[in-house]
Structure 1
Amino acid sequence: MFDSKIRPLIDPVLNAQGAVIARAGISANQVTLLGLALGLLSAVMIACGLFALALLPLLLSRLADGLDGAVARASEPSDFGGYLDITCDFLFYGAVPLAFVLADPVQNGVAGTFLLMTFYVNGTSFLGYAVLAEKHKMKSDARGVKTLYFTGGLLEGAETIGFFVLLCLLPAWFAPMAWVFGALCLVTAGSRVLLALRVFRRD
């Protein structure tokens, strides 16, 4: 929901830093993998109950996720780079809820399972739309220049990162927040299905 509004504010800064990183000989894929490593480190810390400390690698991982595209644009963008980026993103997004379940399986198990299911559905609606958009040669740079077509929705990257930060600050509230966020993920997925019905139904 907020990604398209945030991008014009952060892209100039990311692009400037991305150009510096590219000149240093660091590739976009290396930045992507660094972001994944930081995200998984955060998940391990969450699973160990180090919720507040996990915020630092979590936020650094998302910074790397923003920088990898900027590095690619300053050097040589590739389809594989976009593929690697979205794959790492989905691994990170799944690892954090799993970490909260591992931290307290009794309290968080059912809510965490529900949340992961809704992430799966939401991710499928996103990727499925991207495949059809590519088939129809649709383009959009509202959320920055991307390898994949990014559709909008109630919950996007900014909202999910904010949600993860809130979980780390208020870990005892994981279960109720997971139920609410998961329900909103289903609303987001449903809105994409309706959008796809409107845009692609003639096929």
Structure 2
Amino acid sequence: MLDGWARRKLDPLLNRIAAGVARGGIGADAVTLAGCGIGLAAAALVAVGWFGIAFVLIVLSRLADGVDGAVARINGPTDLGGFLDIVLDFLFYGAVPLGFVLFDPAANGVAGAVLLFAFYVNGASFLTFAVMAEKRRLVSTARGSKSLFFTTGIAEAGETLAVFLLACLFPAWFPVLAYAFASITLYTALSRIVLAGRELR
């Protein structure tokens, strides 16, 4: 939901950064891998309670996630790049809640498990719809040019980032944030299932 607004605001900045990165001979896949590495470092810092530094690294990781697509548009997208982008995004999205669970299993364990369950269901609905859409040669530009069919929803990258950053600022709120965002994420998955029932008959 936030992604469309954020894209309009951030694309000029991301394009400028990407132009410099591409001129330096750095490919989109390298940016994707670097962004994932930074994100995993953030999750590790969450697990040991270094929330302030984790906050900064999460922002940098998601900045890289935006730059890699812009670099790919300059150099030309590849199927491998699209694959890595999605898989490593999911790795990041799972790692940060796991970090909060490891930080305080007693307080965060159940809430973290519920959030990861919601991510699992939502990810399955997103990727399966994309496969079926490709089979039917459907096209979507709702979030710009993507390597696969991109269905939108309430819970997207922008909302996920906001929840992770709020949890870093207010770690004691993680259970409440996790339960609330799990509900939103499951609603997004349900809406995609309804969409599939309408579009894929």
Give the TM-score, by structure 1 length: 0.96
Instruction: For 1:172, give the aligned amino acid.
Output: A
Q: Which residue of 1 aligns with 2:112?
A: 112
Q: How far does the alpha carbon of each residue in 1:12-66 deviate from its partner, in whole angstroms, 9 at most, with x for none?
A: 3212321221111001000000000100000000000111221111100000000
Q: Please show how residues 1-203 of structure 1 align to structure 2 within 5 Å.
A: 1-201=1-201
Q: Is the 8 A contact 1:15 1:74 kept in 2?
A: no
Structure 1 outlier segments of 4+, above 4 Å:
none
Residue 99 of structure 1: CA displacement? 0.3
Q: Does the 8 Å CA contact 2:142/2:152 hold for their aligned counterparts?
A: no
Q: Quick check: 2:48–2:103 contact (8 Å CA) kept in 1?
A: yes
- Structure 2 counterpart of 1:6, which letter? A
If the length of structure 2 is used for normalisation, what is the TM-score?
Answer: 0.97
Cα distance, 1:85 vs structure 2? 0.6
Q: Deviations over 1:168-196 (max 9, x none)?
A: 01100111211111111110100000011
CA distance in 1, matches of 2:154, 2:39: 23
Paired letter, 2:13: V
CA drift of 1:142 comes to 2.1
Cα deviations by residue, 1:43-97 (Å, 9 ceiling, x for unpaired): 0000001112211111000000000011111113101100001000000000000
Equivalent AA in structure 2 for residue 100 of structure 1: F
Counterpart Cα distance in 1 of 2:173 and 2:3: 25
Question: Structure 1: where are the runs of 5+ without partners?
Answer: none
Question: How far apart, in 2, do the equivalents of 1:145 and 1:32 lie?
Answer: 17
Letter in structure 2 aligned against 1:86: I
- Alpha-carbon distance in structure 1 between the residues aligned to 2:139 and 2:6: 19
* Amino acid corresponding to residue 73 of structure 1 in structure 2: R
Q: Per-residue CA shift, 1:139-170, capped at 9, x if unaligned?
A: 12221211011111111010000010000011
Q: CA deviation at 1:9?
A: 2.4
| Percent identity over paired residues | 55
Contact 1:46 1:54 in 2 (8 A): yes
The number of aligned residues is 201
